[in-house]
Amino acid sequence: MAPETAEDARAIYLLTRAAFDAPEEAELIDALREAGDLALSLTARAGRAFLGHAAFSPMTGPIRAWALAPVSVRAAARGQGIAAALIQDGIAIARARGIEALFVLGDPAYYARFGFAAAPARAYPSPYAGAHFQMLNLSGKPLATGPVTHAPAFAALG
């Protein structure tokens, strides 16, 4: 896993568009990057081939938090642990940078393996609130609660 470089934007766009079979998530990453809201962008490669990508963006609210979204893996490379490795590396980097929590909107059964849960996320009102809105406390201590907001680029997803 490696942080994206300046030359990676087009390959990340193509990978993400193919992974989601639609342009919205790929456009989200571009919009986050253009707004300076791509806090961490990790890639997984085999040689020059892009196999996976994970994006992390800052959130506003009562704590230092990032949103994890989107995570993409090339169809032919799924089931090999690439997404898990990207997420684990992102968690470690976020913790090292003093980020107190990560939020994700995704399958609870998948994200539970990393420690994400919906119950703690309920203390953080968000337009995405619900069973799929999950939080991972990276600080190891109780955190302040209150509304959290994703980067403005998320509003375009509707």
Low-confidence ranges of the chain (pLDDT < 70): 158
pLDDT at 140: 92
pLDDT at 158: 60
Tens-place pLDDT, residues 132-156? 999 999 999 999 999 999 999 999 8
**Residue 139 token pair:** 């600080």
CA–CA distance, 85 with 83 (Å, rounded to integer): 5
pTM higher than the cut 0.85: yes
Percent of the chain's residues with pLDDT above 90: 96
CATH number at residue 67: 3.40.630.30
Q: What is the CA radius of gyration of the chain?
A: 15
Domain that holds residue 93: 2-157
Structural domain total, the chain = 1
